[in-house]
Chains A and B, each alone.
Chain A
Amino acid sequence: MKKIILALSSVAVIASMQSCKMKSAESAVQGDAASKVYVAPGKYDEFYNFVSGGFSGQVTVYGLPSGRLLKVIPVFSLFPENGYGFNEETKPMLNTSNGAVPWDDQHHLMLSQTNGEQDGRWIFANANNTPRVARIDLTTFKTMEILQLPNSAGNHSSPFLTENTEYVVAGTRFSVPLGEEDVPISSFKQNFRSTASFISVDKTTGHMSIAFQIMLPGMNLDLSRAGKGASHGWFFFSCYNTEQAYTLLEVNASQKDKDFIVAVNWKKAEEYAKAGKGRKVAAEYAHNVYDEDKQTATSTMEKEVLVLDPKDCPDMVYMIPCPKSPHGCDVSPTGEYIVGSGKLAALIPVFSFAKITKAIADKQFEGDFYGIPVIKYEAALHGEVKKPGLGPLHTEFDDHGNAYTSMFLSSEVVKWRLSDLQVVDRVPTYYSVGHLMVPGGDTKKPWGKYLVAYDKITKDRYLPTGPELCQSAQLYDISGDKMQLILDFPTIGEPHYAQACPASLIKDKQVKFFDINKNHHQFVAMGEKKTNVVRTGNRVDVWMTAIRSHLTPDNIEGVYVGDEVYFHVTNLEQDWDIPHGFAIKNNPGAELLIMPGETVTLKYVPTHPGIYPFYCTDFCSALHQEMSGYLRVSPKGSNVPIKFGTGVVADTTAKK
């Protein structure tokens, strides 16, 4: 009995000691983190951080180091907040070969570059689900162009830029048959192809058009980078599922020891395209452009695309074996090193561009993949980063010869040296980091001051908000030897890749308002005297103006049930930060936000007779609440003449 009591009491003693408690995440922040991220009221952040909105379909803009949300830029999803995709001017932006698509999944962003450095002109964004690439102007933070991609599915390997923004490159995640062929899914190997689209970008206007598509074997292309500096003229895609599985990919696409980095000599591809080695393939894809002059977008349906087949174009494409389903493929600032990240690998292979070129010259091939030469792994390899962590995904660089790789499984960022491939530091992320970003960390000129980790899971990091939690980002100070966590901030949608540039690059180029004299909108009202209401059949056009604090006209009669009423509202203000809004009762669409000098159109089809108030939705002045009006909707077939005005008071009262 004594022994039993002794044994029990020793168990109780051990249990009460709690000496084996698991380490918690709370101890992560030390030192002067607060002062490093504190941007005093009225002061500006040092960097603009453009963050992909994931399943929100939009692009968000944060300030760094404060992590303050500055703007949501509507790109691939409807945005009732400002009328994007709802107003007549931007409806064509979301048009596709399958009609209007109101949503997408936005993953990656790339700031335009000149000589491999950020130039602050545009930012390009991909849509995963319905393959598209968008261009956003950085003087207005507006989506200016959306180009659909034919022969593509799962536009995940997109968009990536060559060092002078010659091309936006977009690869396919899902291989599919080219065109609209009806084939059995099991015919994957025979009929399914992946494609890499090279979209040329006009140097002055930024306008995009597909220069050519390179047809590749059926497999999944993944994160990619253009060569730069030494490797300018080349492009490197990572790829997985070279097993060519079409079902239960998690098992069937993870069988091979190595997949590939696909190296494309795009200068050569350009020559082949010019020399007529490609074949024009019928395709249907939308090209949507917002015209700044007319303040209106148009959607054009393109009819064909030029396809290059590596079979007809020797020395254009090579494969480099890369361990275990690579996800990321990143090129060092000099362009010499190509870092592959096998998401299931226990090491990070670093390839050397000089060695790749030599291996090609010496024909050090170990075979071919569907006719594409496969370079010997060792012949291309610079070295391997040993035991970096688990689940390497993406790598960015600083300006001191260091690389930073995100580790999804071990939920950490690992810092290692490019010179000797030694791991020098590691910090935890909260939790399961996907992409990471150093401002300019993908260019020739990184600013190695901050690193942001974009996480997939937040769990206990913030006040809980039911089952659906925010995603988040973490800011690290990387200016010293040791990485230091200094801030957590929640994000909109799920953040994937992001870009950041010094604020000074774009801050002073911002458009404050649109010059009304340059407004060539079809329905602009150049002043209150030009306002009008015109009926054409059952279409009623209202030329309306907004200026503090009234709408002209603010009384409109002579509209019938079933009419298509178009309110073309021109904001006459010519001052910074004086937008007006426009909304009308029971409108099944969204409101309008109209920037100074702009004209925007709301279409409204009344379904019931009555009096419908409309008003300004953007608090504009002390008399904003007074900025309103009435639309009279009469029953169909009644005889009420068109009548409109502002400030006209009738001389009779209580008239039916």
Chain B
Amino acid sequence: MKKLTLPGKISIAVVILCLSTLWFLPMWQIDLRAPQYPGGLSMKIWINDVKGDVDIINGLNHYIGMKTIHKKDFPEFIFLPTTMMIFMGLGLIVLLLNRKLYYYIWTGLFAFIGFFSFYDFYKWEYNYGHNLDPSAPIKIPDMSYTPPLFGYKKMLNFEALSQPDISGWFYISAGVIMVGISIYEYRKSHAK
């Protein structure tokens, strides 16, 4: 079995470092703007919490019958940190075992976690936007309020912008590093 190159080894440490920012900085943000909110409202999603103007957003949501957002309703806030913790631990094992194959598997796992997380996020947004209280005061036929997964969307008097926050960008960088290093490692071993 082939051993990892030095950049490969370093990359593991860098990836772990990048991922550790998830505990210190928000990973995703959804900004909202409406005429009545000239300063805008912002929801910050952390690996284990949802912060920002959540209370204000919750106060507004009842008009259209959207559910209120509460930290305790998200099992993700337990699963996601646990998963990432295990993933980072696995990185250390890859480093110890020092085999390219494990690095590829580790990268694959990351891609899987990433895609699954996004799928989960989308599913939550869809439910959040579609599961409306039938007795809500404001009902607009065929209108749903799924926030954008990524990018801009206008919903009634609100404009929404959804994008990664600081640790989200670190997370993405981690992915880019892993895929890049995997290709690098593969080429190194096949160039000979």
Interface residues of A (CB under 8 A from B): 547-549, 573-575, 621-623, 626
17 A-B pairs within 8 Å (CB atoms) are namely: A547-B59, A548-B59, A548-B62, A549-B137, A573-B59, A574-B55, A574-B56, A575-B55, A575-B56, A575-B59, A621-B63, A622-B63, A622-B137, A622-B138, A623-B63, A623-B137, A626-B137
Apart from A548-B62, A573-B59, A574-B56, list 14 A-B contacts with CB within 8 A.
A547-B59, A548-B59, A549-B137, A574-B55, A575-B55, A575-B56, A575-B59, A621-B63, A622-B63, A622-B137, A622-B138, A623-B63, A623-B137, A626-B137
User: For residue B62, which residues in chain A have a CB less than 8 angstroms away from its CB?
Assistant: 548
- Residue of B at shortest CB range from A574? B55
Question: 4 smallest A-B Cβ distances: which pairs?
Answer: A575-B56, A623-B137, A574-B55, A548-B59
Interface residues of B (CB under 8 A from A): 55-56, 59, 62-63, 137-138
User: For residue B138, which residues in chain A have a CB less than 8 angstroms away from its CB?
Assistant: 622
User: For residue B55, which residues in chain A have a CB less than 8 angstroms away from its CB?
Assistant: 574-575
Measured in the bound complex, the distance between the Cα atoms of B62 and A623 in whole Å is: 11
User: For residue B63, which residues in chain A have a CB less than 8 angstroms away from its CB?
Assistant: 621-623
- Residue of B at shortest CB range from A576? B39
User: For residue B137, which residues in chain A have a CB less than 8 angstroms away from its CB?
Assistant: 549, 622-623, 626
Measured in the bound complex, the distance between the Cα atoms of B138 and A548 in whole Å is: 13
Measured in the bound complex, the distance between the Cα atoms of B59 and A34 in whole Å is: 43
- Residue of A at shortest CB range from B55? A574
User: For residue A622, which residues in chain B have a CB less than 8 angstroms away from its CB?
Assistant: 63, 137-138
Measured in the bound complex, the distance between the Cα atoms of B137 and A645 in whole Å is: 19
- Residue of B at shortest CB range from A623? B137
- Residue of A at shortest CB range from B41? A575
Report the minimum CB–CB distance from A626 to chain B (whole Å): 8
Measured in the bound complex, the distance between the Cα atoms of B41 and A279 in whole Å is: 61
Measured in the bound complex, the distance between the Cα atoms of B62 and A590 in whole Å is: 31
**Which among A547, A573, A575, A621 has the highest number of chain B CB atoms within 10 Å?**
A575
Measured in the bound complex, the distance between the Cα atoms of B55 and A549 in whole Å is: 15
Report the minimum CB–CB distance from B144 to chain A (whole Å): 19
Measured in the bound complex, the distance between the Cα atoms of B62 and A573 in whole Å is: 14
Measured in the bound complex, the distance between the Cα atoms of B32 and A575 in whole Å is: 15
Report the minimum CB–CB distance from B65 to chain A (whole Å): 13
Measured in the bound complex, the distance between the Cα atoms of B41 and A574 in whole Å is: 13
Report the minimum CB–CB distance from A112 to chain B (whole Å): 29
Report the minimum CB–CB distance from A579 to chain B (whole Å): 14
Measured in the bound complex, the distance between the Cα atoms of B59 and A573 in whole Å is: 8
Report the minimum CB–CB distance from A102 to chain B (whole Å): 36
Report the minimum CB–CB distance from A546 to chain B (whole Å): 12
Measured in the bound complex, the distance between the Cα atoms of B138 and A549 in whole Å is: 12
**Which among B56, B59, B62, B137 has the highest number of chain A CB atoms within 10 Å?**
B59
Measured in the bound complex, the distance between the Cα atoms of B137 and A574 in whole Å is: 22
User: For residue A575, which residues in chain B have a CB less than 8 angstroms away from its CB?
Assistant: 55-56, 59
Report the minimum CB–CB distance from B39 to chain A (whole Å): 8
Report the minimum CB–CB distance from B69 to chain A (whole Å): 15
Report the minimum CB–CB distance from B150 to chain A (whole Å): 28
User: For residue A623, which residues in chain B have a CB less than 8 angstroms away from its CB?
Assistant: 63, 137
Measured in the bound complex, the distance between the Cα atoms of B56 and A300 in whole Å is: 40
- Residue of A at shortest CB range from B138? A622
Report the minimum CB–CB distance from B174 to chain A (whole Å): 36
Measured in the bound complex, the distance between the Cα atoms of B56 and A573 in whole Å is: 8
User: For residue A574, which residues in chain B have a CB less than 8 angstroms away from its CB?
Assistant: 55-56
Report the minimum CB–CB distance from B60 to chain A (whole Å): 8
Report the minimum CB–CB distance from A264 to chain B (whole Å): 50
Report the minimum CB–CB distance from A567 to chain B (whole Å): 22
- Residue of B at shortest CB range from A622? B63
- Residue of A at shortest CB range from B53? A575
User: For residue A548, which residues in chain B have a CB less than 8 angstroms away from its CB?
Assistant: 59, 62
Measured in the bound complex, the distance between the Cα atoms of B56 and A548 in whole Å is: 11
Measured in the bound complex, the distance between the Cα atoms of B63 and A575 in whole Å is: 16
Measured in the bound complex, the distance between the Cα atoms of B63 and A464 in whole Å is: 47
Measured in the bound complex, the distance between the Cα atoms of B63 and A623 in whole Å is: 9
User: For residue A573, which residues in chain B have a CB less than 8 angstroms away from its CB?
Assistant: 59
Measured in the bound complex, the distance between the Cα atoms of B22 and A364 in whole Å is: 80
Measured in the bound complex, the distance between the Cα atoms of B59 and A547 in whole Å is: 8
- Residue of B at shortest CB range from A573? B59
- Residue of B at shortest CB range from A572? B59
User: For residue A621, which residues in chain B have a CB less than 8 angstroms away from its CB?
Assistant: 63
Report the minimum CB–CB distance from A107 to chain B (whole Å): 38
- Residue of A at shortest CB range from B38? A42
Measured in the bound complex, the distance between the Cα atoms of B63 and A573 in whole Å is: 15
Measured in the bound complex, the distance between the Cα atoms of B59 and A145 in whole Å is: 35
Measured in the bound complex, the distance between the Cα atoms of B141 and A545 in whole Å is: 32
Report the minimum CB–CB distance from A209 to chain B (whole Å): 41
User: For residue A547, which residues in chain B have a CB less than 8 angstroms away from its CB?
Assistant: 59
Report the minimum CB–CB distance from A507 to chain B (whole Å): 14
Measured in the bound complex, the distance between the Cα atoms of B63 and A622 in whole Å is: 9
Measured in the bound complex, the distance between the Cα atoms of B63 and A582 in whole Å is: 21
Report the minimum CB–CB distance from B33 to chain A (whole Å): 15
- Residue of B at shortest CB range from A577? B36
Measured in the bound complex, the distance between the Cα atoms of B52 and A575 in whole Å is: 12
Measured in the bound complex, the distance between the Cα atoms of B19 and A223 in whole Å is: 69
User: For residue A549, which residues in chain B have a CB less than 8 angstroms away from its CB?
Assistant: 137
User: For residue B59, which residues in chain A have a CB less than 8 angstroms away from its CB?
Assistant: 547-548, 573, 575
Report the minimum CB–CB distance from B16 to chain A (whole Å): 38
Measured in the bound complex, the distance between the Cα atoms of B137 and A626 in whole Å is: 10
Measured in the bound complex, the distance between the Cα atoms of B191 and A175 in whole Å is: 106
Measured in the bound complex, the distance between the Cα atoms of B34 and A621 in whole Å is: 13
Measured in the bound complex, the distance between the Cα atoms of B62 and A574 in whole Å is: 16
Measured in the bound complex, the distance between the Cα atoms of B123 and A602 in whole Å is: 48
Report the minimum CB–CB distance from B64 to chain A (whole Å): 11
Measured in the bound complex, the distance between the Cα atoms of B138 and A575 in whole Å is: 21
Report the minimum CB–CB distance from A92 to chain B (whole Å): 33
- Residue of B at shortest CB range from A578? B59
- Residue of A at shortest CB range from B59? A548
- Residue of A at shortest CB range from B56? A575
Measured in the bound complex, the distance between the Cα atoms of B137 and A573 in whole Å is: 19
- Residue of A at shortest CB range from B36? A577
Measured in the bound complex, the distance between the Cα atoms of B55 and A246 in whole Å is: 65
Measured in the bound complex, the distance between the Cα atoms of B137 and A623 in whole Å is: 8
- Residue of A at shortest CB range from B39? A576
Report the minimum CB–CB distance from A525 to chain B (whole Å): 17
Measured in the bound complex, the distance between the Cα atoms of B8 and A268 in whole Å is: 81
